Amino acid sequence: DRVVPAHSFKYAATLQEKADKTNPLLIRIETKSGHGSSNLTKAIESTADVYSFLFYNLGVTPKFQK
């Protein structure tokens, strides 16, 4: 890994401390990633994480069609 995850955790903790404590933060840690173009699977996983975070924090309950 190019950056030790501990640095990301420290950064997120600093943001939590300095920012409005009522606003949630999303942190994503990816292992075995590098500088190159991302593949489709990683893009889908990232998008799913963001939507899940948004839905959870906005209280959205998806309605599935049968």
pLDDT per position as a tens digit, 49-64: 999 999 999 999 888 8
**4-8, 29-33, 48-52, 58-62: range with lowest mean pLDDT:** 29-33
pTM of the shown model: 0.69
Residue type, 34: G
Cα 30 from Cα 43, distance rounded (Å): 12
Residue 27's alpha-carbon distances to 9, 13, 50, in angstroms, are: 8, 10, 10
Cα 38 from Cα 18, distance rounded (Å): 32
Cα 42 from Cα 63, distance rounded (Å): 25
